[in-house]
Chains A and B, each alone.
Chain A
Amino acid sequence: MDDVIKKEIIKLNTRILGESFMSRLERIPTKLNEFGYDEFGFKPEVIKYIVPIFYFLCKIYWRVEAFGLQNIPKSGRVLLVCNHAGQLPWDGSVVICTIFNEMEPPRMARSMIEKWTTTLPFMGEWMSLAGQIVGTPENCQRLLENDEAILVFPEGTRGINKLFKDRYHLQDFGHGFMRLALKTNTPIIPIASIGSEESCPAIFNIKWLAKLLGAPAAPITPTFPLLGPLGILPYPVKYRLYFGEPMHFTGDPDEDDVEIDLKVQTVRNTIQSMIYDGLHARKHVFW
């Protein structure tokens, strides 16, 4: 019964998206075991069922425009560094889907997720099936040494939960990604995502409520909690992604924070200036 439903969904998806699109999945370079999983729990098979949702989100809802995709190496390890915003990590899924949809040959970027997501039922399981990894240094190193593409948001929760008034001002960057890049000799691609801030603008953050719930933030947006739980869904802004040129860094990964900070600031400044350029080029938020 289960199998029949699954077959029908795949048939439907193939009809909507076309055979060539569905075959992109076969061409992702990952090492799978005999059950169809890679060692981190990624099951490319699962994407066949959810592809239409994300295709709809990227092509129709957000109408993502990507600039500079040629900067991403077609194979080999790469660290994608992006600005973070929007209360919920939709921007991560936009970057990953864009790279999957638009690059030739297709690449599956894996993003680093927070540890506490594994304590949530379903979230942890689905993230892992979709190829996302808990963000520990050992995991990241292992993946980079396997020549995977890793997406990181060095701003972390500081970035994703920032208020609308601070939009597009990059928060402090964590240093972990730079140490890993130095250790594994990985090129860094800076990414500026324009539109993520407006997709879920937080006017206010109720700090005491967040603490009470044990959540990283309790945001108030124009539609949340006014329209109930549906109000937290992202708005249909026009997403623009700018992929910068690869940045190479050399040095000792165990250097003092002060030294690493210099390199991190270089990346941060690059992304900040890419954001300003993107904002300058943008005429409207929603189209």
Chain B
Amino acid sequence: MAQEYVVITGISGNLGRLLAKRLHKEEHIIGIDRRPFDDRPKDIIHYQIDIRRNKADEIFRNHRIKAIYHLGVMHNPRQRNDLRYSWNILGTSKILSFCGKYKIPKFVYLSSADIYGAGPGNTNFMPETAPLQGWRGSAPLRDAVETDMLVQSFFWKDPDTDIIILRPVHIVGPHMDNGPMRFFNLSAVPVALGFDPMIQIIHENDLIEALYLCLNKKVRGVFNLEGGGNVPLSIVLNSLKVKKIPFLHLALHPILKKMWDFKLTDFTPDQMNNLLYICMVDGTRAREELGFKSKLSIKDTINSIKKAQ
């Protein structure tokens, strides 16, 4: 019986490392990432390569792969648009092609609930079938929508692989360094006067558990991942003692655009919608089919956001 491996792309990232730690005692892990992973546990094989290169093909040819966790997606909005597009779309395409070529039984893609897009008139708890309005946003969000749809298209192109798309809400936790974490760790944030949308957040530990569940459960399809509940944005900001600077909502977009253009902020202007409107998901499908339920309450999740000074 040949040894079976679990591939994690993007293993050197924050989530990749957490996932590797969770899995490496039970599974044989192969990590693929352009970045080094020097402090890895000894039983993890790491290939420091670009997934878009042909070298990646060898890995899949030479090892028997039981599952791929594709976390190697670029989210940084300051990254060059063409590089991010190439990395996300071409890279994901390449990995998906290996699934068919080498008959890999499982592919888990970590998408995001951001792609539904925050907007007026969103239903409060969007199911997986809700339209992806994220294409109205800036380039990074559009890339995320397109990558998600690319993976969706492989449901039909490659029916033998169990493809799972996870769409978690904002991921927070002591190891995370993403948009939401940076926002909540600012000392003062802009808010729109008269708007206080409800938000959902999920703790990194809960997310890792959801990823773990995907490995051995015989499931396929799209799953929204809710956190411990939902609260208004102001409650999160007050709990974290972040100063709120109110702006007139009509003035927000031009101000944020100028700040973005002059590199005073890393938040794209369209993310202002998250300050105005809701973008929340219904995690029933994950609860029923994947058996996933957040262990941390909303209060504990909020408390995990503040970075130790």
Contact = CB atoms under 8 A, between A and B. Distances in A.
Nearest to B198: A41
B195 interface: yes
Nearest to B248: A121
Nearest to A116: B120
A35 B298 CA distance: 9
Nearest to B280: A39
Contacts of B159: none
Nearest to A119: B120
Given A121-B193, A125-B194, A37 B124 contact: no
Contacts of B248: 121
Interface in B20-50: none
Interface in A88-145: 115-116, 118-125, 128, 133-134, 136-139, 142
A218 B65 CA distance: 66
Interface string B118-130: 0011111111000
B7 to A, nearest CB: 37
Interface in A1-53: 33-35, 37, 39-41
Contact of A33 (B120, B192, B249, B298): B298
Interface string B219-231: 0000000000111
Contacts of A137: 123
Contacts of B254: none
Contacts of A39: 124-125, 229-230
A39 B282 CA distance: 11
B277 interface: yes
A101 to B, nearest CB: 27
B280 to A, nearest CB: 9
Contacts of B231: 33, 35, 37
A134 B195 contact: no
Interface string B163-204: 000000000000000000000000000001111101000000
A37 B232 CA distance: 9
B232 to A, nearest CB: 6
B199 to A, nearest CB: 11
B195 A133 contact: no
A140 to B, nearest CB: 10
Chain A interface residue bracket vs B: 20 to 34
Given A39-B230, A125-B194, A125-B195, A34 B297 contact: yes
Contacts of B123: 134, 136-139
Contact of B229 (A33, A133, A134): A33
A41 B230 CA distance: 8
A271 to B, nearest CB: 27
A40 B124 contact: yes
Contact of B121 (A120, A122, A134, A142): A134
A128 B235 CA distance: 15
Nearest to B124: A139
Most chain A CB neighbours (cut-off 10 Å) among B230, B277, B297:
B230
A128 B249 CA distance: 18
A124 B118 CA distance: 15
A115 B120 contact: yes
A21 B195 CA distance: 31
Contacts of B192: 121
A115 B229 contact: no
Interface of A: 33-35, 37, 39-41, 115-116, 118-125, 128, 133-134, 136-139, 142
4 shortest interchain CB distances as A-B pairs: A121-B194, A115-B121, A136-B123, A122-B194
Interface of B: 120-127, 192-196, 198, 229-232, 235, 248-249, 277, 282, 297-299
Given A33-B230, A37-B232, A39-B124, 6 more contacts: A34-B298, A40-B124, A118-B120, A125-B195, A134-B121, A142-B125
27 contacts: A33-B229, A33-B230, A33-B298, A34-B297, A34-B298, A37-B235, A39-B124, A39-B125, A40-B124, A116-B120, A120-B194, A124-B194, A124-B195, A125-B196, A133-B124, A134-B121, A134-B122, A134-B123, A136-B121, A136-B123, A138-B123, A138-B125, A138-B126, A139-B123, A139-B124, A139-B125, A142-B124
